[in-house]
Structure 1
Amino acid sequence: MESGRSFARRDRLLEIEAKVRNWWDQKDVFRAESCAKKPEPGEKFFGNFPYPYMNGYLHLGHAFSLSKLEFAAAYHRLRGANVLLPFAFHCTGMPIKASADKLAREIERFGDPPAFESFVEEVKEVEVEEANGGPTEPEKFKSKKSKAASKSGGDKYQWEIMRSYGLSDSEISKFKDPYHWLTFFPPLAKEDLKAFGLGCDWRRSFITTDMNPFYDSFVRWQVRKLKDMGKIVKDMRYTVFSPLDGQPCADHDRASGEGVQPQEYTLIKMEVVTPFPPKLSVLEGRNVFLAAATLRPETMYGQTNAWVLPDGKYGAYEISESDVFIVTERAALNLAYQNLSRIPEKPTCLVQLTGNDLIGLPLRSPLAINHEIYALPMLTILTDKGTGIVTSVPSDSPDDYMALHDLKQKPALRAKYGVKDDWVLPFEVVPIINIPEFGDKSAEKVCLDLKIKSQNEKEKLAEAKRLTYLKGFTEGIMVAGGEKYAGMRVQDAKPLIKNQLLEAGHGVLYSEPEKKVMSRSGDECVVALTDQWYITYGEQEWREMAEKCLKEMNLYHEETRHGFEHTLGWLNQWACSRSFGLGTRIPWDEQFLVESLSDSTLYMAYYTIAHMLQNGNMYGSDTSLLKPEQMTDEVWNFVFCEGPYPKASDIDSSVLNKMKQEFTYWYPFDLRVSGKDLIQNHLTFCIYNHTALLNQHHWPRGFRCNGHIMLNSEKMSKSTGNFRTLRQAIEEFSADATRFSLADAGDGMDDANFVFETANAAILRLTKEISWMEEVLAAESSLRKGPASTYADEVFENEINIAVSEAEKQYKGFMFREALKVGFYDLQAARDEYRLSCGVGGMNRDLVLRFMDVQTRLITPICPHYAEYVWKELLKKDGFVINAGWPTAGLEDHTLKKANKYLQDLIVNMRKLLQKQVLGSKKGNKKGAPTTPVNEEKRITALIYANEQYGGWKEECLRILQNKFNPETKTFAPDQEILGELQRSAVGQAEKDFKQLQKKCMPFLRFKKGEAVSLGAQALDLNLPFGEIEVLQKNLELIKNQLGLEHVEVLSVSDDDAYNRAGPHADLLRNNPPSPGDPTPIFFSSV
């Protein structure tokens, strides 16, 4: 008991789960074996999941994505398929090594265990000394800065992070060895997944990196083969790079900015005209340039000035012995990593400047028609983009036009920044591009059209840019550029003018990240020009193969397909080598490692033979079956690529052939489940590598992507405490209640929501269901024997059949929330209704046992421990429910379902009317009940008046709707057309005031139209698909018992004595006549 709350039910589920897992382990139920015969469609199912990174415990985010695969695999296993669901652990890359090194540095600095507290005290002493004006040692000053960063929520000590995992100080110290992480976390993850009930063949589990010699051999073979095919090359390429780590920063190495690519600019060298002002005098004798980054080099003919941010911070940086660029510090750092610094990777600032120091500098800019221009102030420049220097082309840039316009029109603005008139007033817009819609001064025209008054109207200027920018490129014609370019389309002229600038030395190429990227080591990334190994993704022929593969795949959501198509459109060469971290060495260049998104693209094939190589040891350290050196490239090619038999191999032929059989039986894999964030890298790489290395009949068949998971409608976050590891969730809710809530969380591409209340409710539901079954089975002899014979029996049997059919449909479509609804919630509701409907006659024994059997099988993929326990302990069935087969079902009778809904709705409505009578309602009711209060002790009789066919104006309305309905599109003709038809009908002609008829008919017309759109044309039938009176007659006893009535009788409103039987309530019947599906009950009371 904790806080007054009992955990007995949860604990019972945990006990059941432990017992069931023991049964499974004893029989090794998830062991997957191949067959010599190739499987027919549906006979096998191979699903897999991106192996998680092993720098901590698995959390509910992992479990959510994994649950989609687990539910699907369990469904296929239940259907009788031979199922392979393997699981491995990713250790390649930088994060583990970075964390281990960080821990080692903390131990070196603070001791083992670290004395952070004494360090903080030392800092406090420094703060006091500083406050009193005392001296400060440089090292202690640094320490204070570190503490401030810590206070602001910045870096957290790695030791503290490890403590948050529940580790003791003596254990934490071991993690300074990166390989200790590999021996610690994967076994714990395996424990947690087994506790979760994952139906995994653990013999095939493995870790990555060279710690596993078999997987290391596999990756070496893979990259060698790609290189031999010309798909791995070495070249100088722009790549996002971490200066702190000293290597490229791929998506998995980033704390933020995943998916961000280098953005290439042309840097325009705007030469500062001598003599230099005093602030720049130190640069005398050098070539000094304001360096402006542009995406539109073809517009440089129209320059009227350059822009600088008045209070922006700039520097004059050495590019070479002779050249100096004035740019921001951030741009200088990027340039230094692109061989544009006298000292590589170390920008040298010769003088620090502000934008105010640059205002008024005379410039000569390449291609500009104006011979000399000036640097002027612009207030909207962003220094975290480009170089902080901006070229001004007011003919085509609305921002430039308005900024120049402001300076021209506002003397006070010029005076504020010390701008002389002759730097601004003589400069007019220079036409350079003609856009058919806007002419040759597009910026001026659109600014006038939108009535933009100043450079501060950001929203209007953004709209102006949207209107002109793209059209300038796609539809624009050059009017500047002389004979060489005038008359040429802008999109044709742009690359030519760009090359002209570069070849003449008037510009250089410059790249920076499209958006801010932070590495996991905590530094802001740059773009570096690096000489390294690349995989040639995006190469035309290879891309076409990838597109062909994608076209044939089942992706389950159109949004997923669009994501892949978009990625294939932009993905280009990918740096596959790293110099820091853990992993496999590049075989031909061992100074480098294969990066973490490049050793994880084909490993699904490795699963098929991992158990034969590793003998069930995830580290590959058991070499009793095979030795890693025996796995030569010839062997790998034979197993995976239909290569020739490796005659030189000393591996027994039976083993070689068995490995090949394993691969050809299981491949291609049927499904890979993943978060949608991996579409832009890992999953697309997977397609590329499969198409390059394997034959087409082994290409992937399906990917299913999902959103992220929230906890209780809030983002899952360690920092806020709204976080659960998988282990914590199982301990708090049990495995099956966790799985239940994961299934209920959602199935689409949008973020799903794991609700604790749902998990707690699942604990209650599952344990209560077990108790109910135990009670019923203990009193089985009291159940009604013999075949199903009553109307309630028929309805319940039909509901079971519908549940089987609908659950199958939802499981097939990966709609697990709906499968849970129809296979558990709805089926239990049908059972509860059946119990009530049976009354004193009791439930049918065979139907109750069938219900238990079916419900147990339908919930098996989601709650397998619960289902297995019920199957063996309560139902006393042989074998395991996970392999029991999908339940059989008779034909669904949807007419019977509608009839029952009609009956249940009527009982609910009659109960409400009766309660109003008993409570003495003073208002008349639309249906039934006289207004006179009824004594609760009186005996009550009910007459139920039914009308099985529409007549009068309702019949006419329905006939018109039938003619105006398109069943294929489920749409109607316009209302005016329907009303016109009604006015021309016999009913309309007979009505003197059509508006009154319209007022009466419109609610009915709207209601029936809505039904037809939802249910189809049958909603417009003149009568119900079942005999209304027959259904009521069969269930008089049920109605009587549920409402506590003395007597119930059903009458047709068309009977001769119908109104006479209503007695004093005849007017009520006339005012509220029954219609199909809407009977009129009338109540009488007697002493």
Structure 2
Amino acid sequence: MDLNAEGRSFSRRDQLLRIQSEVQKCWEDHKVFNAESRSKPEPGEKFFGNFPYPYMNGSLHLGHAFSLSKLEFGAAFHRLCGRNVLLPFAFHCTGMPIKASADKLAREMQKYGNPPVFPSAEAYVDGKSLRSKAAAKSCGDKSQWEIMKSFGISESEISKFADPYHWLTHFPPLAKEDLKAFGLGCDWRRSFITTDMNPFYDSFVRWQMRKLKNMGKIVKDKRCTIYSPLDGQPCADHDRASGEGVQPQDYVLIKMEVLSPFPDKLKIMEGRKVYLAAATLRPETMYGQTNSWVLPDGKYGAFEINDTDVFIITQRAALNLSYQKLSRIPEKPTCLLELSGYDLIGLPLKSPLAFNEIIYSLPMLTIRTDEGTGIVTSVPSDSPDDYMALQDLKSKPALRSKFGVKDEWVLPYEVIPVINNPGFGDKAAEKVCADLKIKSQNDKEKLAEAKELQYAKGFTDVVMLVGEFKGKNIEEANPLIRDVLQETGQAVMYSEPERKVISRSGDECVVALTDQWYITYGETEWKDKAEECLSSMNLYSEETRHGFEHTLGWLNQWACSRSFGLGTRVPWDEQFLVESLSDSTLYMAFYTVAHLLQNGDMYGSDTSIVKPEQMTDEVWDYIFFGGPVPVSDISASLLNNMKQEFEYWYPFDLRVSGKDLIQNHLTFCIYNHTAILPKHQWPRGFRCNGHVMLNSKKMSKSTGNFRTLRQAIDEFSSDATRFSLADAGDGMDDANFVFETANSAILRLTKEITWMEEVLAADLRVGPPSTFADHVFANEINIAVRLTKQHYEDFMFREALKTGFYDLQAARDEYRFSCGSGGMNRDLLWRFMDVQTRLITPICPHYAEHVWKHLLKKEGFVVNAGWPSSADISDPTLKSANKYLQDTIALMRKLHQKQISGPHKPKNGATASPDEANKFVVGLIYVNEQYEGWKEELLNILRSKFDIRNRSFKPDQEILDALRQSSFWLQDANLKQIQKLCMPFLKLKKNEALAVGPEALNLRLPFGEMEVLQENGELIKRQLGLEHVEVLSASDAAARSKAGSHISLLIQNPPSPGNPMFIFRTCSEFVTHT
């Protein structure tokens, strides 16, 4: 027995590992997952699913596996159902992270030797051996050498990774082997890597980019973009360690001129134009300025903008401005003087548009210096924060004294109405602060609420009261006033990241004004086509659809070129590379022909079939774009084969991805397909999921709560890993991979193999199903087939696992127990084993293949054996009858135990004797199979008032009027007692009908209660330990007499349809009354 250090046996896990190795070899030998095109497919004949290729700067981890499992399970289901399935997989190497890491390693070896001897061992933390992409993203201050060691790379090999292309030869083959071990049903002939290392893919991307440029969808222009100063280039989502999805935020920078004479601190700037520069989104309110705000403890600087102008702002804002052509030395802010907020209090200012000719800078305690410029202009008519801060200074002399604020800087300044806001008037901030009883500027929660209340209705009806654009609503006035301020030199435009963005190189990003190539996403006509495509796609959830609609609403020009990293050169401007989110938008089409070009070599180095230079734009156009037959020395048969492959597999049916790619890659995919391909080849579906946690905690390398895919396979086996991935969850919320579920799967699968071996060797009852238990079990199998198929089609794999494995196992266990001495039916168990094996195949294919071949002795492969036959339709009545039986037994057991331990319970904790504990061995079950009397009449009324189509009742008053006209209401002598019982019964039946439909209002159950209970008398006796059971009609006087002295129980709790009554008696009592 194989034991670990704690003495735990791994024999069951190792059994699954042996099975997966054998099965995977068999699959590979028989090329089971190679997908071949046929003639034009009929609807539903083929399934082409794909997955965003992962970045190859480390090994795949369970996060990758979780998203990929959704595609793998879905594709396996379609394959099982007989569809022609294509699931390809490729590896992304485009971008800057690999190149940056390789360069960092080269610098370390150049400086510290090979192997490097670092100056301090403490400078780098020795990492755990986790081969992960996350290790590279969250390495802290670890050296690149140590990061490579943490990947499990030997010191003798590490130096090779100073060549970025060595990463491309190392990690993709490892990932491929991990995915094979996972059991991915992939056609590996079509695999490829990106970048110019693969000349065929390089040619494909060049064709795509030229296509877009010729359509006018790639332009060169100056635009603000998120930018890494360290890397010296734009930092797109895939280049970021944090801040994915963050966009530039545009502000108007108001130039508030500092009036002379300057205070001593600023004397050195006499003769220069010095401004406090405040960032605002609301330039239309500047008429109402009463002051500016500074943070007393804030750190500021006086920065040269050009030869004459100086802005007093934060260092962070100055750095952003320097990358937007607003610094005397581009990209290098020149600070003439460091200042604190205290140095700025009391500066006299002349501010654009302000009705007050002079305003002063005053202290505000809530300013944030990590956004904007640290300088804030004050408009107390419309800003609750400004209003309360000004009121604090006006009403609190001690606060003025604390910061050296003179009365004349504050007291003369009153709120100036600028705009009229319906519901709030022309002094909106004053009104909302009074309504919310806000006491000071420190009441942050209420101030945030005040702002939300003001902005809740939008700005359509908010009208300017003053200025050149008086009478216009502020949605119109805002851009007009912004333009006037810029044209007159009173303001400049300023941008910064919406939130902090950290590049993978570790520096904080800025917004830079760059001259580069852009893809014109958001252009009106193109956006209309993208929205049309989206409207016809299957997205599997409304949350996903809303995510795409939101992205299409804001997405605009996207910088598609980079100057650093790996990739394909921009074909008309080869100083630039195509960035990593722009060479990955149409490559699903490349899968369809990759095997014909590359001859199975993912690097495209095999040119025996086609040479890369033969793949001209005319050839690509012919294959993908419906272009004319090209003049080419590629054989006509090969050209036609490639065209036919593409037209067979396209459009792709599904792309599975994490939800984080909605805001970039997946939306780009829609845009590029609608630009380049005809409508009938646009994508058909995207399915997005959340992230995965491990054991209810965020997956994190730094905390050790992390697993690579290979580690999970080695620890649990591939099938147990897949089982736990399926069980982890299906929606857009984060899912949870639980180690205990994986360990439990090991036990369940191996025990199931043992049980099947025993069953196949046993002497069992033969012939068609004949007993109630047989019919129930056969029905449960049919139900599992139907429900599980629906769950797989909906890509709800947790539910498929429940109905196709857990529920089916429970039904088998119940059947085994129900059969008793009569034994189980051999043919039925064969049906069960066949069905269960097929239903679990998409999730646990190695286990299923082993059972199929070695236990069931079936021909071929279970992965394409076909969905189980559904010739036998499931019977909901039989299911209801079985539920009735099981519920009855459970209730009888509870009451039996209660009667045993009731008044006859031994005193003082003594143990009951066997005679005492077992004396209630006769069970009488009283049944009333039909509602009668007032209940019958009430149900008839409810049926007449029920709308079956809409599953709703007529108004309550109409029902009550009908009740008051009923015979029992008008004539019954026990009216008061009936009225007391009537309303709860009416409410109960109404709720049941609303939940399950009109059958809840029937007078009888859809099956014979007495028949079900009588047929299962032996089961009831066995489960409750009774010697005798009788099923009796509650309306039969002779039957009622058998209750003896317990007849009062029958009177007090009369049975009704679905609710039998139980009486337990001793043998002597029963014999006396019979």
Which range, TM-score by smaller chain?
Answer: over 0.9
Decide whether the 8 Å contact of 1:435 with 1:472 is kept in 2. no
Q: Cα distance, 1:221 vs. partner?
A: 0.6
Q: Cα distance, 1:943 vs. partner?
A: 2.2
Q: Cα distance, 1:689 vs. partner?
A: 0.2
Decide whether the 8 Å contact of 2:212 with 2:218 is kept in 1. yes
Work out whether 1:632 is the aligned partner of 2:635: no
Decide which moves more: 875-884 or 1057-1066: 1057-1066
SS at match of 1:474: coil
Work out whether 1:942 is the aligned partner of 2:926: no
Partner residue, 1:814: 795
Describe the shift of the 1:718–1:957 C-alpha distance in structure 2 as closer, same or farther (beyond 3 A). Answer: farther
In structure 2, distance between residues paired with 1:294 and 1:803: 61
Partner residue, 1:681: 664
Partner residue, 1:479: 465
Describe the shift of the 1:490–1:992 C-alpha distance in structure 2 as closer, same or farther (beyond 3 A). Answer: farther
Decide which moves more: 245-254 or 400-409: 400-409
Describe the shift of the 1:921–1:832 C-alpha distance in structure 2 as closer, same or farther (beyond 3 A). Answer: farther
Decide whether the 8 Å contact of 1:921 with 1:933 is kept in 2. no
State the AA in 2 paired with 1:901.
K
Counterparts of residues 1058-1073 of structure 1 (less than 5 Å): 1058-1073=1039-1054
Partner residue, 1:26: 29
Partner residue, 1:901: 883
SS at match of 1:473: coil
State the AA in 2 paired with 1:734.
S
Q: Cα distance, 1:1020 vs. partner?
A: 2.3
Partner residue, 2:706: 723
Work out whether 1:656 is the aligned partner of 2:659: no
Decide whether the 8 Å contact of 2:94 with 2:565 is kept in 1. yes
SS at match of 2:361: strand
In structure 1, distance between residues paired with 2:784 and 2:921: 38
Decide whether the 8 Å contact of 1:918 with 1:933 is kept in 2. no
Describe the shift of the 1:679–1:120 C-alpha distance in structure 2 as closer, same or farther (beyond 3 A). Answer: closer
Work out whether 1:596 is the aligned partner of 2:587: no
Cα offsets for 1:508-532 (capped at 9, x unmatched): 1110011111111111110000001
State the AA in 2 paired with 1:674.
S
Q: RMSD of aligned C-alpha atoms?
A: 2.3
Aligned counterpart for 2:424 among listed residues 423, 438, 455: 438
Q: Cα distance, 1:208 vs. partner?
A: 0.6
Aligned counterpart for 2:524 among listed residues 515, 528, 540: 540
In structure 1, distance between residues paired with 2:976 and 2:174: 76
Partner residue, 1:295: 281
Work out whether 1:838 is the aligned partner of 2:819: yes
Aligned counterpart for 1:514 among listed residues 498, 503, 522: 498
Describe the shift of the 1:977–1:109 C-alpha distance in structure 2 as closer, same or farther (beyond 3 A). Answer: farther
Aligned counterpart for 2:46 among listed residues 40, 44, 47: 44
Describe the shift of the 1:973–1:741 C-alpha distance in structure 2 as closer, same or farther (beyond 3 A). Answer: farther
Cα offsets for 1:484-520 (capped at 9, x unmatched): 3222222222211111111111111110011111111
In structure 2, distance between residues paired with 1:824 and 1:758: 14
State the AA in 2 paired with 1:533.
W
State the AA in 1 paired with 2:214.
D
Decide which moves more: 353-362 or 834-843: 834-843
In structure 2, distance between residues paired with 1:798 and 1:714: 40
State the AA in 1 paired with 2:244.
E
State the AA in 1 paired with 2:389.
A
Partner residue, 1:737: 720
Work out whether 1:747 is the aligned partner of 2:730: yes
Aligned counterpart for 1:241 among listed residues 227, 251, 262: 227
Aligned counterpart for 1:572 among listed residues 551, 556, 564: 556
Decide which moves more: 96-105 or 721-730: 96-105
Describe the shift of the 1:993–1:301 C-alpha distance in structure 2 as closer, same or farther (beyond 3 A). Answer: farther
Decide which moves more: 562-571 or 1038-1047: 1038-1047
Aligned counterpart for 1:951 among listed residues 913, 932, 935: 932
TM-score, length-scaled by structure 1: 0.93
Decide whether the 8 Å contact of 1:307 with 1:390 is kept in 2. yes
Decide which moves more: 905-914 or 59-68: 905-914
Decide whether the 8 Å contact of 1:220 with 1:587 is kept in 2. yes
Describe the shift of the 1:998–1:763 C-alpha distance in structure 2 as closer, same or farther (beyond 3 A). Answer: farther
Partner residue, 2:514: 530
Residues matched between the structures, number: 1048
Cα offsets for 1:793-849 (capped at 9, x unmatched): 221211111111111111111111111111111112111222222222222221111
SS at match of 1:849: helix
Q: Cα distance, 1:919 vs. partner?
A: 4.4
In structure 2, distance between residues paired with 1:936 and 1:398: 77
Q: Cα distance, 1:884 vs. partner?
A: 0.6
In structure 2, distance between residues paired with 1:977 and 1:283: 86
Decide which moves more: 87-96 or 933-942: 933-942
Describe the shift of the 1:117–1:1022 C-alpha distance in structure 2 as closer, same or farther (beyond 3 A). Answer: farther
Describe the shift of the 1:252–1:995 C-alpha distance in structure 2 as closer, same or farther (beyond 3 A). Answer: farther
SS at match of 2:921: strand
SS at match of 2:1066: strand
In structure 1, distance between residues paired with 2:945 and 2:734: 41
In structure 2, distance between residues paired with 1:104 and 1:981: 90
In structure 1, distance between residues paired with 2:752 and 2:938: 48
Decide whether the 8 Å contact of 1:707 with 1:749 is kept in 2. yes
In structure 1, distance between residues paired with 2:740 and 2:933: 52
Decide whether the 8 Å contact of 2:569 with 2:576 is kept in 1. yes
Cα offsets for 1:694-744 (capped at 9, x unmatched): 011100000000111111111111111111111111111111111111111
SS at match of 2:1023: helix
TM-score, length-scaled by structure 2: 0.94
In structure 1, distance between residues paired with 2:1009 and 2:389: 78
SS at match of 1:47: strand
State the AA in 2 paired with 1:591.
Q
Counterparts of residues 582-593 of structure 1 (less than 5 Å): 582-593=566-577
Q: Cα distance, 1:979 vs. partner?
A: 6.7
List runs of 5+ in structure 1 lacking aligned partners.
124-149, 924-930
SS at match of 1:1057: helix
Partner residue, 1:349: 335
Q: Cα distance, 1:222 vs. partner?
A: 0.5
Decide which moves more: 85-94 or 366-375: 366-375
In structure 1, distance between residues paired with 2:522 and 2:976: 67
Cα offsets for 1:528-564 (capped at 9, x unmatched): 0000100000000000000000000000100000000
Cα offsets for 1:1025-1070 (capped at 9, x unmatched): 1111121222223323333433322211112312212222222222
State the AA in 2 paired with 1:374.
Y
Work out whether 1:868 is the aligned partner of 2:870: no
Describe the shift of the 1:1082–1:540 C-alpha distance in structure 2 as closer, same or farther (beyond 3 A). Answer: same
Decide whether the 8 Å contact of 2:537 with 2:684 is kept in 1. yes
Aligned counterpart for 1:799 among listed residues 757, 780, 787: 780
SS at match of 1:99: helix
State the AA in 2 paired with 1:637.
D
List runs of 5+ in structure 2 lacking aligned partners.
126-135, 906-911, 1069-1074
Percent of aligned pairs with the same amino acid: 75
In structure 2, distance between residues paired with 1:739 and 1:524: 39
In structure 1, distance between residues paired with 2:8 and 2:509: 50
In structure 2, distance between residues paired with 1:385 and 1:173: 42
Decide whether the 8 Å contact of 2:123 with 2:141 is kept in 1. no
Cα offsets for 1:130-186 (capped at 9, x unmatched): xxxxxxxxxxxxxxxxxxxx9x99422222222222222112222222111111111
Partner residue, 1:135: none
Counterparts of residues 225-236 of structure 1 (less than 5 Å): 225-236=211-222
SS at match of 2:1042: helix
In structure 1, distance between residues paired with 2:232 and 2:865: 56
Q: Cα distance, 1:906 vs. partner?
A: 1.7
Q: Cα distance, 1:910 vs. partner?
A: 2.2
In structure 2, distance between residues paired with 1:470 and 1:267: 26
In structure 1, distance between residues paired with 2:327 and 2:658: 41
Q: Cα distance, 1:583 vs. partner?
A: 0.7
In structure 1, distance between residues paired with 2:327 and 2:940: 84
Partner residue, 1:888: 869
Partner residue, 1:132: none
Partner residue, 2:392: 406
Aligned counterpart for 2:325 among listed residues 339, 356, 364: 339
SS at match of 2:736: strand
Partner residue, 2:56: 54
SS at match of 2:300: strand
In structure 1, distance between residues paired with 2:123 and 2:517: 49
Decide which moves more: 1074-1083 or 111-120: 111-120
